[in-house]
Every structure is written in C-alpha cells, then in structure tokens.
Amino acid sequence: MSEEKTFAWPDGKRCAINLSFDDARLTQVENGFAILDRHNIKATFYVSFGALSKYPEEWKQALANGHEIGNHTVNHPCSCNFPWAKEFALEDYTLEMMEEEILGANEKLEELLGITPKTFAYPCGMTYVGRGINRRSYVPLVAKHFIAGRAYLSEPVNDPAYLDAAVLCGTGVDSMSIDELNELVDTSLKTGSWLNMVAHDVPSGNGIGLSCENLDLLCKRLTEESDIWVDTIENITDYVISQRNG
C-alpha cells in the first residue's frame, strides 16, 4: 500500500487547471486563440499536421503568446472500431511503429515551428498497440520521450501526490454547459487536484467542442479566482515533478 503523502500547490493555490485542445482545429485558430489571450490563459495544444501546416504563422504566434504545443503523433492512430481509423488502426501497430509516429511528429514540429515538444497526448485517449496476446501499452514509450502524456475521457482529476505523469487523466469537456464546467472546477478546488480539461473545436459547429460563450465564461472564472493555478501541462508537470523529487 502507498504511504500517505502531502502536496502543496505554489503560492497558496488550492488546485491546478489546464485547458488543452486537440487536433489543431481551424476554430481554435479563428476563435479559441483570441478568447484565451484576452484572459491571459496559457493553454496546451496537441496538433495534427494537416491543419497546422495551413496556418504556421498563427501557430508560431500562439507559441510566442505563451501557449504550449505538444506531440499528438503524425497520423493520429486510433482503434479500428472508428470508421475513419482503418488505415492507421492501433490494432495493426507495433511498439516500433508507434515510436516512429512519435519521433516523426517531433521532427515535423521542429521543422514547422522550431520546437521540441515536452508533452504528448494519446490520440483518442488510447494507450495500446496490437491485439489479443500481442496487445501492448505504449505508455513506456511516452515516458521515454516526454515529461508527460495526457489521456482523454478518463478519471476526472489527477492527484498531484500520486499521479503517473506518463498517463495523466484528461476530462473531455466538448459541448459541456457552463454549469457542468463550473462543477468540474469546484471538484478540483475541493480536492486540491489537477484538472486537465480537453476540448476540440471552438465553437461546437459539428457537436465537438466548446461554445465561444462558455469558453469565455470559463476563462473569466479561472482568472478571477486567485486560488486556482492555470497553466500549460508542461509547466504544471515541471512543478509536480520538482515537488515530488524535492
């Protein structure tokens, strides 16, 4: 059994919250950047290259504004059960193939944006390759190459004293109401935990994403409450690791 541990967030903060956005959707560029920057919220973006390569200057500006851009693989492999994932199905991957995906994405981010990403997000939140007796976790690969890996549609909060940074819990918030978003924030405050909120489009024209109004209201609350620490996954992970190693 694990021994009881204590943990303190910096400067008397009661919890940590990150906003992360996946797949480099156009609406993130058109709507999300402006809302986040208006409130001085530093978010994390896990990008897909077809979309990113169309607007490289806008993504470079996002970096300059303090946002984090992380690795989301080259081809976004997911379960073969998704109709659109048949060509890059995790069930057909090996660990060697997945490492090529990860390193290839790092190379593309260096080429397009001049960065080496420090964190990773599992496409579809899935952490395996192969099938049956050949199924393997690729969490160790992520731990090898990054300080953190963010999952998706998992437990609602991360306990900073015990979490595994290679597979951080990520809470899907696409299409949530502001009341639902506030409830997540309330839970994080009550438990002293780290909440990773994961969205896609801004707004949810196709049913996947946050409305501009709700994102704006959420950011307003996060900046007005002084006991909430809002930052990138890289920065929060760095702090957690330093505290636990100290």
Which residues share a beta bridge with 17?
A: 195, 230
Distance CA 82, CA 179 (A): 31
SS3 70: strand
Which residues share a beta bridge with 172?
A: 198
Residue bearing the bigger pLDDT, 2 or 147: 147
The answer to whether position 2 is within a domain reads no
The answer to whether position 169 is within a domain reads yes
Residue in 39, 31, 24, 37 with CA at minimum distance from that of residue 64: 37
Cα atoms in the 13 Å half-sphere on the side-chain side of 163: 30
Distance CA 63, CA 85 (A): 30
The answer to whether position 3 is within a domain reads no
Q: Tokens at residue 35, please?
A: 């809302």
Please write the tens of the pLDDT for every residue from 64-109. Answer: 999 999 999 999 999 999 999 999 999 999 999 999 999 999 999 9
The answer to whether position 85 is within a domain reads yes
| pLDDT at residue 5 in the model | 82
The answer to whether position 5 is within a domain reads no
pLDDT of 27 higher than 70: yes
Domain, as residue range, for 215:
12-245
The answer to whether position 147 is within a domain reads yes
Residue type, 48: S
Residue type, 113: L
Please write the tens of the pLDDT for every residue from 103-146. Answer: 999 999 999 999 999 999 999 999 999 999 999 999 999 999 99
Q: Tokens at residue 52, please?
A: 């990113």
- Do you know the residue count of the chain? 246
Beta strands in 29-167 (DSSP E): 44-46, 68-70, 119-121, 128-129, 136-137, 148-150
Mean pLDDT for the stretch of residues 60-65: 98
Q: Tokens at residue 139, please?
A: 């969490």
Q: How many domains does the chain have?
A: 1
Please write the tens of the pLDDT for every residue from 192-236. Answer: 999 999 999 998 677 678 999 999 999 999 999 999 999 999 999
Cα atoms in the 13 Å half-sphere on the side-chain side of 159: 5
SS3 21: strand
The answer to whether position 4 is within a domain reads no
Specify the CATH number for the domain of residue 172. 3.20.20.370
The answer to whether position 41 is within a domain reads yes
| pLDDT at residue 43 in the model | 99
pTM, rounded to two decimals: 0.96
Q: Which position has the token pair 């899935």?
A: 126
Per-residue pLDDT band at 154 (split at 50, 70, 90): confident
Mean pLDDT for the stretch of residues 21-33: 96
